Amino acid sequence: ETIGEAEKSDRIVVLDAGHGGTDSGKVGINGVKEKDINLTITNSVKKILEKENIQVIMTRETDEQLAQSKVEDLKYRVKIMNEVSPVLAVSIHQNSYHEENVFGAHQTSTEGEKAAGIIQDALQKVNPDNTKKIKANNTYYILKKTEVPTVIVECGFLSNYKEAQKLVTEDYQKSVAEAVAEGIL
């Protein structure tokens, strides 16, 4: 008995831990590298989703860059997302901003917008100070090139000292991962 394509992929989620390898992403006020926090949170989200019988495909599972150049690395991530054809792709990031109190979720499609809103609401419970709303963002390569509903989640701001300090703690990382997973589910 074969399962139809649509039925098969509705239990698949692609998780993308942003950056990796020589590309450390943002470096926090406290010296922490974004790539490391991204991977830790993404691995936790994966574990939670798998307990709920969601098949998770990771773009990276170790501290590695997926190609020689930044552009090729992003193309490879997009290729995975498009080929797997998941119900949702979620790219996990931290951010840095000249104003210390900015964070949020970004998306492009209508389905992405719905998913981003749900994830944003879940993150707001973890960090009630997070008043930033979801927004469409077409400057992100991944959002422009994916053919599946995709959300980029900025879990926290490394330019905010208080937040950067929280983001290195296991408890806070776990809370953020639980919120992201809850949103995905």
Question: Distance between CA 130 and CA 120 in Å, rounded?
Answer: 9
Question: Which residues, at least 6 apart from 122, have a Cβ–Cβ distance to it below 8 Å?
Answer: 179, 180, 182, 183
The answer, yes or no, to whether residue 9 has pLDDT greater than 80, is no
Residue 163 has pLDDT above 50, yes or no: yes
| Res 3 pLDDT > 60 | no
Instruction: Write down the pLDDT at residue 4.
Output: 44
- Report, as an integer, the average pLDDT of 118-129: 85
The better pLDDT of the pair 135, 152 is held by: 152
Rounded Cα gap, residues 111 and 64, in angstroms: 30
Q: Residue 63 corresponds to which tokens in the numbers above?
A: 């501290």
pTM: 0.88
Q: How far is CA 5 from the centre of its chain?
A: 25
How far is C-alpha 128 from the chain's CA centre?
19
Q: Left (φ > 0), alpha (ψ -120 to 50) or beta: where does 31 sit?
A: left
Residue 177's identity, in one-letter code, is A
